[in-house]
């Protein structure tokens, strides 16, 4: 029986795939430091966007899974994770909205609040910097892959970018 909503399917699979996606990107970054990499996860696997051969990405995913299983949980974290940007954007956007409250409907009055809005958004970005990584660590990723296994890699080229879809199973 699950202890929390995050342990229930399909969220658990999504979180473990997200952690494995980050770990794969981190492993590939170690081996190919100049290559631009991006990723996206689902409960069924993850996609790595990189102009690298399929075999290289597959080997990176295999190594990432082994290293996560060996206890290298930090591999599941990534500084450019969308969670970090989403949290910063949500908090800064809310702060900016709060700065407009009580300014009336006229554009001139809202414009007069622009320095306050900028200050609130900037302070919120500074104060919430640790929030994204904490959300990543405890909510959106899982560094323990559990019984996750790599099933296959499918590669396609879209808009000149190689998309490597890594499908997983439990």
Domain range annotation of the chain: 5-78+141-169, 82-134
**118 φ, ψ (degrees, to nearest 5):** -60, -45
Give the whole-angstrom CA distance, residue 15 versus residue 162: 24
pLDDT in tens, 138-164: 999 999 999 999 999 999 999 989 999
CB distance 141 to 18 below 8 Å? yes
Nearest to 23 by CA among 85, 76, 100, 97: 76
Helix (H), strand (E) at residue 41: strand 38-42
Distance, in Å, from the CA atom of 16 to the CA atom of 20, rounded to the nearest integer, reads 6
Q: What is the pLDDT of residues 7-61, one digit of tens each?
A: 888 999 999 999 999 999 999 999 999 999 999 999 999 999 999 999 999 999 9
pLDDT in tens, 75-130: 999 999 999 999 999 999 999 999 999 888 888 988 999 999 999 999 999 998 89
Q: What is residue 1's predicted lDDT score, i.e. its pLDDT?
A: 41
The beta-strand segments (E) located in 43-160 are 45-49, 149-158
CA end-to-end span of the chain: 17
Contact 17, 41 (CB under 8 A): yes
Does the domain at 5-78+141-169 match CATH 3.30.980.10? Answer given as yes
């Amino acid at each position: 029986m699950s202890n929390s909503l995050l342990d229930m399917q399909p969220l658990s699979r999504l979180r473990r795939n997200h952690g494995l996606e980050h770990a794969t990107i981190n492993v590939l970054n170690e081996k190919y430091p100049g290559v631009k990499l991006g990723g996206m996860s689902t409960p069924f696997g993850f996609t790595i966007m990189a102009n690298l051969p399929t075999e290289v990405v597959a080997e990176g995913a295999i190594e990432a899974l082994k290293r996560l299983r060996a206890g290298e949980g930090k591999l599941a974290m990534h500084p450019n994770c969308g969670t970090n940007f989403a949290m910063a954007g949500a908090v800064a956007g809310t702060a900016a909205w709060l700065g407009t409250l009580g300014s009336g409907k006229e554009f001139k009055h809202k414009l007069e609040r622009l320095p306050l809005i900028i200050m609130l958004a900037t302070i919120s970005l500074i104060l919430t910097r640790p929030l994204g990584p904490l959300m990543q660590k405890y909510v959106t990723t899982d560094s323990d892959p559990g019984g996750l296994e790599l099933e296959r890699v499918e590669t396609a080229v879209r808009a000149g970018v190689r998309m490597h879809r890594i499908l997983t199973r439990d």
